[in-house]
Chains A and B, each alone.
Chain A
Amino acid sequence: LAKTTQPISMDSYEGQEVNITCSHNNIATNDYITWYQQFPSQGPRFIIQGYKTKVTNEVASLFIPADRKSSTLSLPRVSLSDTAVYYCLVGPNNDMRFGAGTRLTVKP
Chain B
Amino acid sequence: DAGVIQSPRHEVTEMGQEVTLRCKPISGHNSLFWYRQTMMRGLELLIYFNNNVPIDDSGMPEDRFSAKMPNASFSTLKIQPSEPRDSAVYFCASTKEVFDTLSEAFFGQGTRLTVV
We find that the number of chain A residues with CB closer than 8 angstroms to chain B is: 22
Give a binary string over A87-108; 1 marks a CB under 8 Å from any B CB, 0 the rest: 1000011101111110000000
SS class of chain A's interface: helix, strand, loop or mixed?
loop
- B residues in contact with A32, CB < 8 Å: 102
**Known pairs A43-B107, A44-B43, A100-B42; A93 contacts B101 (CB<8 A):** yes
Indicate if the CB atoms of A49 and B105 lie closer than 8 Å. no
Tell me, in angstroms, the Cα distance from A49 to B98 when the chains sit together.
15
**Closest-CB distance, B4 to chain A (whole angstroms):** 8
Tell me, in angstroms, the Cα distance from A93 to B29 when the chains sit together.
13
Indicate if the CB atoms of A44 and B42 lie closer than 8 Å. no
- A residues in contact with B102, CB < 8 Å: 32, 34, 49, 92-93
Tell me, in angstroms, the Cα distance from A101 to B95 when the chains sit together.
21
Say yes or no: is A42 at the interface (Cβ < 8 Å to chain B): yes
Say yes or no: is A46 at the interface (Cβ < 8 Å to chain B): yes
- A residues in contact with B56, CB < 8 Å: 94
Contact of A93 among B43, B45, B103 (CB under 8 A): B103
27 contacts between A and B (CB under 8 A): A34-B102, A34-B104, A36-B105, A41-B110, A42-B109, A42-B110, A43-B4, A43-B91, A43-B93, A43-B107, A44-B43, A44-B93, A44-B107, A46-B105, A93-B95, A93-B98, A93-B101, A93-B102, A94-B31, A94-B56, A94-B97, A96-B45, A96-B93, A96-B105, A97-B45, A100-B42, A101-B42
